Amino acid sequence: MTGHQFTLPLWAAIPVFILAALGAKAYIIDPMVHRTLIRREREAKARLNTTLTRPLPKVLQVPRRVLMERLLNDAEVQAAIDTAAQDTGREAAEAEARTYVDELMPSFFALFYFHIGYWFARRYLRSMYDIQIARQPPEGAYADIPEETSIVLVGNHRSNLDVAVLSYLAARTSMVSFAAGEWAAVWPVNRIMHMSGSYIIRRQGQSRLYKRVLAQYMQMMIGARMPQGIFLEGALSRDGALQPVKLGLMRYILASLGKEDTRDIVFIPVAFNYDRVPEDLTLLAHQEQGFSRKSKLYTLKSTILHSFGMVGRLMRIRRQRYGQVAVSFGPAISVRSWLADRGEEVERLDDDARKSIVAPIAETIIGHISHLIPVLPVSLVATVILETEGDPLDRGAIEQGVSRLLEQLRQLGAPLTVDEADSATCCQRGLDVLLSRDVLYQKQSQLHRNPDNTGLLEYYARTISHYFEETGADAGSAAPLQSILTVLEPGTSPGAD
């Protein structure tokens, strides 16, 4: 009997083998991998809390499912569900709220953010740009911000790479949570966003229930001192200039002030500028309607093409450089101090008072950002070329124009990424980028404009045009900057006036 052999036909052996493999995966491999990742994640967070300038918020130690139930069972959310249930029924309203909570709640994975994400951002960004910090407060200026204070980084929105650039530069300080649009609500993008600590928001068709869930989510995260990153313009600049401010997320953030453990909120202005924005041609092509009318097929096609480009850069197949990307950091703006300067106190604020301070604080922040936007070679050269009449272009005249603008900007205190005395190098860098993009072309050692790409010259000139508009002698020259400081209520458009 012991030497008896059992023989299974092939048609029976294959299912047995598959079931055995699935069982081993489910009951042996998956638990082992899960325990290993949990252990390494716990060790990574403990190590990061000793090396980061600001320790990770304690809310990141709480399992995602617990946070989801906590938000879903919030009294305000439950009241909103009761209201919605009058029209759709209790079960449908709860399912709707749970969908919103699932989209919003991140599942932060420190190993992914500080190891995989940091490596990816570093390698990808450095393959494209020379990354510089154009201006920042004196060393230790942010160290005085108390740990019990909620920090919000507020920037202008030039490119989808803004998030990667800022996360990369802030990686030694702390993590930063950003909002992603509806495009990120599909698998696997939503998983990547959530592991990065980001949350997904719906910009269109927000119901009352959704607004309440979003408001309570922001209050939970601000109260837990989760560092936030937002863009006051609400969308990418489609013409290169600063756009009117939108107050949506600012309202939710400031609504948390004085509630629960939120004693103070500190805003840090951040300004971005690029020698080349990867999306510039797409932004210029859709200035009127934006991207809301684009189909899912268009989005999928763009994502696939961009993914191939990223893989090529990560594998060092594509080596074309895009010039510089520069970032400026402004002074910390404490809401408590801002109120104290006006004779107000956080503890005395009611809901109406919180709403009334949103627009003034937003204008204060965007005012700082407008004076922090770095001046880059392409912006300077584009400005000079647009001022120059005739064709072909004179290199010497362009260099003199760049030198003149650099001196003017230095007197204004604008953040410069090149030495004002080195106008020749600055001019050459700007010309190199514009020539590589066929904005200019060279024929018999002479430079010529490409009339088909004049829009790109105007796009990059607008990134610094507000510096010169502020110094204009007539009132009309100040109008563009005034429009920058015009805040918009949620749901309105810049042309609504």
DSSP labels, 252-276: HHHHTTTSTT---EEEEEEEEEESS
Output the six-digit token pair for 221: 């995260």
Contact between 245 and 363 under an 8 Å Cβ cutoff? The reply is: yes
β-strand pairing of 333-334 with 265-274 = antiparallel
Q: How far apart are CA 134 and CA 410, in angstroms?
A: 13
DSSP state of 55: P
Output the six-digit token pair for 419: 């030495």
Please compute Rg for the chain using Cα positions: 26
pLDDT at 456: 93
Tens of pLDDT, residue by residue, the chain (497 residues): 556 666 777 787 788 888 888 888 888 888 888 888 888 888 888 888 888 888 899 898 899 999 999 999 999 999 999 999 998 889 999 999 999 999 999 999 988 899 888 888 888 888 889 999 999 988 878 888 888 889 999 999 999 899 999 999 998 888 999 988 877 777 778 888 899 999 998 877 778 999 999 999 999 999 999 999 999 888 888 889 998 888 888 999 998 887 777 888 999 999 999 999 988 888 888 766 554 445 445 555 555 555 555 555 545 545 567 889 999 999 999 998 998 888 888 777 787 888 888 989 999 999 999 999 999 999 999 999 999 887 788 889 999 999 999 999 999 999 998 765 578 889 999 999 999 999 999 888 889 999 999 999 999 999 999 998 855 544 343 344 445 555 555 545 444 33
Q: How far apart are CA 292 and CA 294, in angstroms?
A: 6
Tokens 């079960």 found at: 91
pLDDT at 345: 81
- 334 forms beta bridges with 266
Of 465, 283, 472, the residue nearest 373 (C-alpha): 465
Q: What are the b/e assignments for 218-251, b being 16+ CB within 10 Å?
A: bbbbbebbbbbbbbbbbebbbebbbbbbbbbbbb
pLDDT at 497: 34
Q: How far apart are CA 323 and CA 274, in angstroms?
A: 8
Contacts within 8 Å (CB) and 24+ apart, 418-423: 418/377, 423/399
What is the chain's length? 497
Give one word for 316, left, alpha or beta, with left for phi > 0 and alpha for psi -120 to 50: left
pLDDT at 481: 47
pLDDT at 4: 67
Record the pTM.
Answer: 0.85
Contact between 415 and 409 under an 8 Å Cβ cutoff? The reply is: no
- Dihedral (C-alpha) 28, 33, 38, 42: value to the nearest 10 degrees? 130
Q: How far apart are CA 372 and CA 441, in angstroms?
A: 32
Q: How far apart are CA 200 and CA 185, in angstroms?
A: 7
- The residue ranges of DSSP E strands in 123-188, in sequence order, are 130-135, 150-155, 177-180
pLDDT at 496: 39
**Cα distances (Å, whole numbers) of residue 458 to 35, 86, 208, 465, 471:** 55, 53, 41, 10, 20
